[in-house]
Amino acid sequence: MHTIVLGVIGSDCHAVGNKILEKVFSDAGFKVVNLGVMVSQDEFINAAIETNAKAILVSSLYGQGELDCEGLREKCIERGLDKIILYVGGNLVVGKQDFDYVEKKFKDMGFDRVFKPDVDLIEVTKLLKDDIEQRFGNKDSK
Amino acid sequence: MKHIVSIDIGSTFTKGTLLIHKENEVLPGFKILSYRKVPTTTDHLAKGFFDILQSFCKEFNINQEDIEIYYSSSAKGGLNIVAIGIVPDLTLKIARITALSAGAKISASFSYKLSRKAIDSINTINPDIILFTGGTDGGNEEINIHNARMLEKLTIRPVVIYAGNEVISDKIQEILKDFRVIIAQNVLPEIDVMNPEDARSKIREIFLDTIIHGKGLDEISNRIGFMPDPTPFSVFEFVKSLPDSVEQIKKVIADVDLNLDPGIESITGIRSIKEYGLKNLKDNLSYDFKNFCLIDLGGATTDFYSNHKDTISDNNVIYKGLPEPIVKRTVEGDLGMRISSQAVVSTAREYIEKELFSCFKDEKEDSILDEFLAYIDKISKNPGYIVDFSGNNLKNESKENIYNKEVIFDRILASACILNAAIRHAGKYRKVYTSDKQMLVQTGKNLKKVRTIIGSGGYLSFMKDFTLTNFIDFGNVSNKNFEIDEISLLPEKIDYFRDDNYLIPIIANLSEKYPVESALLVLSNLIRV
């Protein structure tokens, strides 16, 4: 079973979506470490190191995701998580910005995938399984 | 009627008491018959122990075989542990909590991958136990395996307690095959589940069956037939059991208006509480002993214990980090009244200067500071030094009341130790501005609602005039820090109790077998100041 770390980043206390994500990913066969709301970059990384997680799934709903996510990839590399998969999703920026632009911005920051708020979560669980297998190989699924 | 002896072998003094246990009462209780204190004979710990035991036998004409004996020891450095974890805020933090709750002294801790330098320093420290943690169950393996391979390079052979990711425990044992490796349950099986108990009891077992031999305690255990506990382990057990015992006592006291025996009469070396013990007990029972802190301020360390279940009911507060244990011990090696007094000055210099200058307004700041530092120099070299208190009245620190400056120097030192130990034990609020409101992020244990604080240790037990509420303003600390968006979650309203006669460590030995009797005696002896 693959372990993934889940949480809402920064000073964001939107709790509902977070619970839904936990349910969907658990049902899809992941071992979910849910850190809840108002999670700092260090908390994500700490939990991922101790649990040997394959991916960190970052949510942000309050429009300040860009500031909060800046530097997360670099910090992961710095602390030895050089292979970890990073996903981000939610209302990532304030106002109506073009999603392609937003996606590029977060991919440049080092996120592997970027999701709109209305994405089909079942699709995301499938993508995640594929991504994990591709990066870590099949052998690791114990 | 059964005779019981409890002895605590401390680093400076060995203290012992002879009690009788009275079963046939509404509430079973103890009565102290005798009390002795002798300097600890470090080169031969058994000597002080048996001197006390034999003097009791002689005084009351009883056979050693007829006595029930309990003892604890913190002599020769107590129990010395090196803690290893992966992330400092996660596994290493629990490793430290586990070791401290087992009554150990943590001489070093290491996170992430052990370096060659770390191995050198562990060799130099030469700990009794290495508490090796890291990873949740099924979690990180790589760092632990690296660390096991590094530990293999040690030239010393301490006992290794492995309490990390259980999936690789066989592998760890295999790598460390030249060591005695004890496998305990993981201290962090899941990222938000703390599990210190199993590792804690394994530490105790190791202390009992291995380590005491090196400390010269085996001569005692060979003759008595069993082993001592580390002193802070006993006190931890006492702190844990007190709320339940108090509940039981309250039930009985409410039922019958009985004439309880307070348990201490006039005995050499101990103040009688015959006159006020019962009244004390009744008064004290009206205070909260379900939630409380205990400070043991010693010459070398300050131990801070709390027993309090912290529940967050405020919607504006979000808790971050590992859940805090209900019963918690922290110990500060840089805070102490004698051996560590130099360290206190470097830790709390600003606070000490402020107190010093406000107590001695008429004197030149430089000269009073020099006097203070000279005093620190003196006492750190002579840890047995006791200030002549006669004729001084600490309750009012004016010139007319204090003839001996050392009385105030000691008081400031004590305040600095308590304040810093409390701040480190307690949690914090941090102000955070979210998109729609201001929230508080809590880390650590919230002690704001805890009222009862018990002061114990040589200084706090015998310095009658020292009242926590007079000298330390926890509220002020909290408010001051609030300006920089942080607040210490220290008690707001304090009911302070002094452990008169310094009974707690010695009675704590008895609390595992006799929780109610121990609570009864300690409560009769606590003086609210």
Average pLDDT on B293-308 reads 94
B164 at interface of A, judged by CB pairs closer than 8 A: no
Query: Range with the lowest mean pLDDT among B23-37, B59-73, B268-282?
Result: B268-282
Q: Please tell me whether residues B359 and B383 are part of one structural domain.
A: yes
B400 and B317, same structural domain?
yes
B348 and B254 share one domain: no
For chain B, what percent of residues have pLDDT higher than 70?
90
Phi-psi region of B257 (alpha: psi -120 to 50; beta: other; left: phi over 0): beta
A109, A60 contact by CB (below 8 A): no
pLDDT, mean over chain B = 88
Q: Is the pLDDT of residue A142 over 50?
A: no
**B236 pLDDT more than 70:** yes
Q: Please answer whether residues B103 and B230 qualify as being in contact, where contact means their C-beta atoms are separated by less than 8 angstroms.
A: yes
Domain boundary among B196, B211, B226: B211
A50/B441 CB distance under 8 A: no
Known active-site residue A68? no
Based on the fold, state whether residues B144 and B59 are members of the same structural domain: no
Q: To probe the interface with B, which of A38, A44, A50 has the most B CB atoms within 10 Å?
A: A50
Does one domain contain both B15 and B149? no
- Beta strands of A44-102 (E only): which ranges? 55-60, 85-90
Tell me B306's DSSP state: E
CB contact under 8 A, B191 and A37: no
According to DSSP, the β-strands at B452-456 and B292-297 are parallel
**Does A141 score more than 70 pLDDT?**
no
For B133, which residue in chain A has the nearest alpha carbon? A50
By a Cβ cutoff of 8 Å, what residues of chain A touch chain B?
A: 1, 3, 11-13, 31, 33, 35, 37-38, 42-43, 46-47, 49-52, 62-64, 80, 142
CATH number at B237 reads: 3.30.420.40
Contacts of residue B136 in chain A, CB cutoff 8 Å? 50-51
Domain finish residue from B252, B278, B304: B278
From the list B86, B432, B441, the residue facing A49 with the nearest CB is B86
Whether B139 and A50 lie within 8 Å, measured CB to CB: yes
The predicted pLDDT at position B401 comes to: 61
Is B397's pLDDT higher than 70? no
Q: What is the rounded CA–CA span in Å between residue B512 and residue B509?
A: 7
Q: Are B184 and B202 in contact (CB under 8 A)?
A: yes
Is A11 within 8 Å of B139 when comparing Cβ atoms? no
Note the pLDDT of residue B225: 81
pLDDT value of position B74: 81
Q: Are residues B34 and B103 in the same domain?
A: no
Q: How confident is the model at residue A96 (pLDDT cuts 50, 70, 90)?
A: confident
Interface of B with A in 121-140 (CB under 8 A): 134-136, 138-140
Token duo for residue B26:
């509404």
- Counting residues of chain B whose pLDDT is more than 90, the rounded percentage is 57
* Residues B447 and B299 occupy one common structural domain: yes
User: Which residue range forms the structural domain that includes residue B273?
Assistant: 2-75+216-278
Among A33-37, B28-32, B97-101, where is mean pLDDT lowest?
Answer: B28-32
B114-123, pLDDT tens digit by residue?
999 999 999 9
Same domain, B438 and B485: yes
Kind plus residue range of the DSSP H or E element containing B53: helix B45-60
| B114: DSSP letter | P
Residue B353 has pLDDT above 90, yes or no: yes
The answer to whether B110 and B146 have CB atoms below 8 angstroms apart is no
List chain A domain ranges: 3-135
Catalytic-role residue among A12, A68, A112, A130? A12
**Cα–Cα distance measured from residue B499 to residue B239, given in angstroms and rounded to the nearest whole number:** 13
Q: What is the pLDDT of residues B172-207, one digit of tens each?
A: 999 999 999 999 999 999 998 999 999 999 998 888
- The verdict on B87 touching A (C-beta cutoff 8 Å) is yes
Same domain, B70 and B84: no
What is the per-residue pLDDT across B16-26, written as a single tens digit (0 to 9) for each? 999 988 776 66
Judging contacts by C-beta atoms under 8 Å, the chain A residues touching residue B140 are 49-52
Q: 3-state DSSP call for residue B202? A: helix
Q: Which residues of chain B are within 8 Å of residue A82 when distances are taken between CB atoms?
A: none
B289 and B418 co-located in one domain: yes
Integer Cα distance of B67 and B64 in angstroms: 5
Among A21-25, A111-115, B414-418, B427-431, the range scoring the smallest mean pLDDT is B427-431
Give residue B387's pLDDT band: very low, low, confident or very high (50, 70, 90): confident
Compute the average pLDDT of residues A87-115. Answer: 93
CA gap B341, B338 in Å, rounded: 5
Question: Are B507 and B432 found together in one domain?
Answer: yes
Torsion (CA) A89, A94, A100, A106 in degrees, nearest 10: -50
How many domains does chain B fold into? Answer: 3
Distances (CA, A) of B254 to B154, B241, B286: 60, 20, 12
Among B233, B248, B278, identify where a domain stops. B278
Catalytic, A14? Answer yes
Flag whether residue B318 sits within 8 Å of chain A, measured between CB atoms.
yes
Q: How far is B90 from chain A (nearest CA, A)?
A: 7
Q: Report residue B209's pLDDT band, with 50, 70 and 90 as the boundaries.
A: confident
- Residue B230 to residue B331: CA distance in whole angstroms: 14
Q: Which of A15-24, A85-94, B48-57, B468-477 has the lowest mean pLDDT?
A: B468-477
Answer yes or no: do A51 and B138 touch at CB < 8 A: yes
Q: Could you tell me which of B421, B422, B398 has the C-alpha nearest to residue B408?
A: B398
Which of B105-109, B126-130, B132-136, B382-386 has the lowest average pLDDT? B382-386
Closest-CA residue of chain B to A46: B87
Residue range A3-135 forms a domain whose CATH class is alpha beta
On whether both B25 and B130 belong to a single domain, the answer is no
- Residue-level pLDDT at B478: 59
Task: Give the total residue count for chain B.
Answer: 529
pLDDT band (50, 70, 90) for residue B264: low
CA pair distance B162, B183, nearest whole angstrom? 5
Q: Which residues contact A121 (CB under 8 A, 6 or more apart)?
A: A20, A21, A24
Does the CA dihedral B368-B372-B374-B378 come out positive or negative?
A: positive
